[in-house]
C-alpha cells in the first residue's frame, strides 16, 4: 500500500493550533503523525486521501492562524525506512519503556513494550496514548475483562496484559491495525487476546470490567451507548482522543446520559484522558 505524506508548516506560537489540525486530519483517515521542526508530518493511505476534502475541513482554521502543507507520495517499500528514521523510544514515567524492534532493550523499567509500528497508529508517541498508559498504571486490572476499542497497534491491550488483565478484547476497524495488533501481541509474548476487525457492531455481547477507548470525540459519542451497554455496573471506562476545551465538557454531558459518571482526567498539551465509572 502506498501512503501520502503531508508536510505541515504551522506559523503559530500556540501548540494547540497544531493539535487542532491533527484532530481534523485524524477524522479524515490520517493514521500517523510525527512532530517536525517546521510543524508536523501526517500520513494517510493513498486510497483514502482526498485533497479537496482536506482543504475544506481545514479552511475554518485559516482565520485563526497561518499554515501550509505540501504533499509527497511514499511507495510502500519505503515506509519502514521512514519510520526507522523518525521513531524513537519513549518512556512513561519510570514504569513503561516503549521501543521498536530495531531498538535495544533498556533495563530498569517494570514494563517494556515492543512495537513494530509499520503503518498503524498507536506507537505511544501521541499524548493520548501516553495519557492512557499513565491512567492504566493507576488502575487495578488484575483478573479484569478489558476491552481496547480502537486498538491501533495493540499497545494498550499489551500493557493491560502485562498489568494482569484476565481477559482481553482488542478491536479496530482498520485492517492494518488489526494485523499489526496480531504481530505486536506475538512480539510481546501476549497470548489470549481476542482481536477483531470492526467497529461498535463488533463488540462482543459480554460484560467488561474496564473499557479503553482512545479514538476521537465524534466516534466516542457515537459509540458511547454501546460502551455503556457492555460495561459492568461500577466498571471503569477511559476516554481519550480529544481536547480539554471544549471537548471534555461535551464528553461529560454525553456520558451522563448513559450513567457514566465523571471521576477525573489527565492533560498533556491540551489532550485529555478521562476516567468515568458506570453507576
pTM comes to: 0.77
First to last CA, the chain: 45
Structurally, the chain folds into a number of domains equal to 2
| Residue 266 maps to a domain | yes
pLDDT digits (tens, 9 = 90+) for 56-72: 999 989 889 999 999 99
Determine which of 28-32, 153-157, 224-228 has the lowest per-residue pLDDT on average: 28-32
Same domain, 74 and 141: no
Residue 8 CA to residue 254 CA, distance in Å, equals: 33
Same domain, 55 and 184: no
- For the residues 138-166, what does the mean pLDDT come to? 96
Determine which of 103-107, 143-147, 175-179 has the lowest per-residue pLDDT on average: 175-179
- For the residues 34-52, what does the mean pLDDT come to? 88
- For the residues 117-134, what does the mean pLDDT come to? 74
- For the residues 98-121, what does the mean pLDDT come to? 83
Does 1 have pLDDT greater than 80?
Answer: no
Same domain, 163 and 217: yes
| Residue 274 maps to a domain | yes
Same domain, 253 and 140: yes
Residue 210 CA to residue 165 CA, distance in Å, equals: 10
Helix (H) or strand (E) holding 10: strand 3-11
Predicted confidence at residue 222, as pLDDT, reads: 94
| Residue 29 maps to a domain | yes
| Residue 89 maps to a domain | no
Q: Residue 36's pLDDT band (boundaries 50, 70, 90)?
A: confident
Q: Residue 144's pLDDT band (boundaries 50, 70, 90)?
A: very high
Predicted confidence at residue 120, as pLDDT, reads: 46
Determine which of 35-44, 148-157, 158-167, 209-218 has the lowest per-residue pLDDT on average: 35-44
Same domain, 178 and 230: yes
Same domain, 152 and 52: no
pLDDT digits (tens, 9 = 90+) for 178-219: 888 999 999 999 999 999 999 999 999 999 999 999 988 889
Print the domain residue range for 27: 3-83
Helix 127-137 / helix 155-162 crossing angle, nearest 10 deg:
20
pLDDT digits (tens, 9 = 90+) for 76-107: 655 566 666 667 888 999 999 999 888 899 99
| Residue 88 maps to a domain | no
Same domain, 43 and 145: no
Helix (H) or strand (E) holding 35: strand 32-36
The CATH number of residue 38's host domain is: 3.30.70.3400
Same domain, 134 and 56: no
Domain boundary (55, 83, 111) is at 83
1 with 251: CB under 8 angstroms?
Answer: no
SS (H, E, C) 173-231: CCHHHHHHHHHHHHHCCCCCEEEEECCHHHCCCCCEEEEEEECCHHHHHHHHHHHHHHE
Same domain, 270 and 164: yes
Same domain, 58 and 142: no
Residue in 223, 221, 239, 231 with CA at minimum distance from that of residue 259: 231
Distances from the Cα of 60 to the Cαs of 27, 143, 244, in angstroms? 15, 47, 20
Residue 148 CA to residue 209 CA, distance in Å, equals: 12
Domain boundary (32, 50, 83) is at 83
Does 121 have pLDDT greater than 80?
Answer: no
| Residue 94 maps to a domain | no
Distances from the Cα of 206 to the Cαs of 146, 222, 228, 229, in angstroms? 11, 19, 12, 9
Residue 50 CA to residue 34 CA, distance in Å, equals: 20
Same domain, 165 and 228: yes
| Residue 106 maps to a domain | no
| Residue 180 maps to a domain | yes
Q: How many residues does the chain have?
A: 279
* Number of other CB atoms surrounding residue 250 within 10 Å: 15
Domain boundary (31, 48, 83) is at 83
The CATH number of residue 136's host domain is: 3.40.50.150
Same domain, 131 and 263: yes
As a whole number, the mean pLDDT across the chain is: 90
- For the residues 146-159, what does the mean pLDDT come to? 95
Predicted confidence at residue 77, as pLDDT, reads: 59
Amino acid at each position: 500500500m502506498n501512503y501520502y505524506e503531508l508536510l505541515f508548516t504551522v506559523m503559530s506560537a500556540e501548540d494547540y493550533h497544531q493539535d487542532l489540525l491533527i484532530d481534523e486530519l485524524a477524522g479524515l483517515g490520517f493514521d500517523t503523525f510525527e512532530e517536525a521542526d517546521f510543524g508536523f508530518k501526517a500520513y494517510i493511505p493513498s486510497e483514502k486521501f482526498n485533497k479537496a476534502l482536506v482543504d475544506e475541513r481545514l479552511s475554518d482554521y485559516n482565520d485563526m492562524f497561518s499554515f501550509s502543507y505540501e504533499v509527497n507520495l511514499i511507495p510502500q517499500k519505503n515506509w519502514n525506512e521512514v519510520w526507522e528514521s523518525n521513531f524513537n523510544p519513549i518512556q512513561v514515567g519510570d514504569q513503561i519503556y516503549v521501543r521498536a524492534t530495531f531498538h535495544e532493550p533498556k533495563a530498569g523499567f517494570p514494563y517494556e513494550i515492543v512495537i513494530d509500528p509499520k503503518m498503524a497508529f498507536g506507537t505511544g508517541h501521541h499524548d493520548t496514548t501516553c495519557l492512557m498508559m499513565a491512567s492504566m498504571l493507576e488502575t487495578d486490572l488484575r483478573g479484569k475483562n478489558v476491552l481496547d476499542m480502537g486498538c491501533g497497534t495493540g499497545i494498550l491491550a499489551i500493557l493491560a496484559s502485562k498489568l494482569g488483565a484476565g481477559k482481553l478484547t482488542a478491536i479496530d476497524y482498520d485492517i492494518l491495525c488489526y494485523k499489526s495488533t496480531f504481530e505486536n501481541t506475538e512480539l510481546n509474548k501476549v497470548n489470549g487476546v481476542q482481536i477483531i476487525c470492526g467497529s461498535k457492531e463488533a463488540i462482543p455481547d459480554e460484560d467488561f470490567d474496564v473499557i479503553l477507548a482512545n479514538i476521537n470525540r465524534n466516534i466516542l459519542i457515537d459509540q458511547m451507548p454501546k460502551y455503556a451497554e457492555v460495561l459492568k455496573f461500577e466498571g471503569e471506562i477511559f476516554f481519550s482522543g480529544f481536547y480539554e476545551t471544549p471537548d471534555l465538557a461535551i464528553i461529560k454531558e454525553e456520558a451522563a446520559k448513559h450513567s457514566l459518571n465523571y471521576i477525573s482526567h489527565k492533560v498533556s498539551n491540551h489532550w485529555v484522558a478521562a476516567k468515568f465509572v458506570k453507576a
